[in-house]
Structure 1
Amino acid sequence: MSEAPADYSNGVDPERALKYALQHIRGDRAQIIEGVIEPVSPTWDHETAAETIRDQIRARARELDCVTGSGNLDLPGSSNWYIPDLAVVPAAAAKGAGALLPADTLLVVEVTSESNAETDRVVKRRRYAEYGAPLYLLVDRQERSVTLYSEPGQLGYTRADGPHPYGVTVRLPEPFGLELDTSSL
């Protein structure tokens, strides 16, 4: 197997080309995790967990002039393009944006599935911190726990609140300043 030339003399940047192609897939959405294209097709149980969190933070997000959604997050300089289960972003940043950076978010939420639990627990946690997402909430359905990560840095999050078993109230710090009820996850 031959390797691609390192100089990209034809002017094509492989990272940009891959991410462009991914955005133009018809039908299903997909993300890139460490260079591997993965379809995004959550189950209803998975969606219910994400919606439970969204319902609890929606009013506060509006007060902060933010939107909640699962839009694209680009991690430039890497072969990663994520579609979080839920993100809270300033409305002004989201308007007209094809993709945002994790640092543009106020909160990123990932809900594990059997097929991606380790990715959410390890890879995405590390990458979200590296790319400056201030808060990362991991809803681990297999472990039936919730962990809030904060204080991001190049080596990961330096603070973890949890894991807390379902049923425990988890405090989202400012700018949210609210308590998440995890009993119905």
Structure 2
Amino acid sequence: MSAEPIMEPVMTQVDPIDLLSAIEEATSMPIRPEYIEGTAIVPPQPNDDHNDGAFELSFQFRAAGFRLVGMGNGYRASHEDGKTMALIVPDFYVRRRRPTELDESYRKAHKGWYPIDMLALVGEVTSTNHETDTGPKLRTYAAAGVPVYVLVDRHSRTAHCCTEPVLPGDDPTEAYYGTDTKVDLGEPLPLPAPYPTLDRAPFVTG
């Protein structure tokens, strides 16, 4: 797979869920495509440093007693009119709850995508497509009201904890996080209670 993301604008009459399903079926790709800000994105194949670091961060949450930490599930955000706003697969996350019967029914109805309101915290580790994680994904998580966004930006060698999502109007591309706690990569990253301070050491040499 290319080291660069494959990005394709989506025609408004096309259901993004059907489009991503068609991409998966046509390519048999090991990575799920995503739909963000009107564009279908096939992320680049992550390297070992990315995967090892994301797993290590997930383990830190688990070690701190957060049993609902996870990786791999896809989540759907919708506009007020019910149309799909985003289909997104975080590198790691902490859920508010285990999937209920209603959540599983939602997932079935939306072809494999859970409702994004299940998420209390999301985390992304940048690959070659760092602009996606620092721009469109950040705005999408804020627009969806995800309370905490943890970003490991390997391009700028910084780590961020973004909180207080703000959607100033109806346009999700104007959403942002009101607070951004930033540290150099390798320094401990404080998170809001009740989450642990994260050790960024796995990324120092990556």
Q: TM-score, normalised by structure 1?
A: 0.79
| SS of aligned partner of 1:179 | coil
Higher normalized strand content (fraction of residues): 1
Distance 1:67 1:49, change over 3 A: closer
Distance in structure 2 (CA, Å) of the matches to 1:129 and 1:101: 15
Distance 1:81 1:22, change over 3 A: farther
User: Would you say 1:86 and 2:69 are equivalent positions?
Assistant: no
Partner residue of 1:70 out of 69, 72, 79: 72
Per-residue CA shift, 1:35-78, capped at 9, x if unaligned? 22314521111112211211211133xx4441311210112234
Distance 1:16 1:168, change over 3 A: closer
Q: Identity over the aligned pairs, expressed in percent? A: 29
Tell me which stretches of 4 or more aligned residues in structure 1 moved more than 6 Å: none
| Gapped regions of structure 2 (runs ≥ 5) | 1-10, 168-174
Q: How many residues align?
A: 171
Distance in structure 2 (CA, Å) of the matches to 1:69 and 1:87: 6
| SS of aligned partner of 1:181 | coil
CA RMSD across the alignment: 2.5
Distance in structure 2 (CA, Å) of the matches to 1:153 and 1:127: 11
Residue 126 of structure 2: aligned partner? 112
Distance 1:16 1:140, change over 3 A: closer
Q: How does 1:12-31 map to 2 (within 5 A)?
A: 14-21=15-22, 26-28=28-30, 29-31=32-34
Per-residue CA shift, 1:122-153, capped at 9, x if unaligned? 11111100001111011001111100000112
Distance in structure 1 (CA, Å) of the matches to 2:36 and 2:59: 28
Residue 142 of structure 1: aligned partner? 155
Q: How does 1:1-185 map to 2 (within 5 A)?
A: 14-21=15-22, 26-28=28-30, 29-34=32-37, 35-39=39-43, 41-60=45-64, 63-76=65-78, 77-78=83-84, 80-93=86-99, 96=104, 97=107, 98-114=112-128, 116-154=129-167, 155-162=175-182, 164-176=183-195, 178-185=196-203
Distance 1:14 1:153, change over 3 A: same
Contact 2:34–2:89 (CA under 8 A) maintained in structure 1: yes
Distance in structure 2 (CA, Å) of the matches to 1:184 and 1:128: 25
Distance in structure 2 (CA, Å) of the matches to 1:42 and 1:135: 23
| SS of aligned partner of 2:202 | coil
| Gapped regions of structure 1 (runs ≥ 5) | none
Per-residue CA shift, 1:149-173, capped at 9, x if unaligned? 00112131111111x1122111121
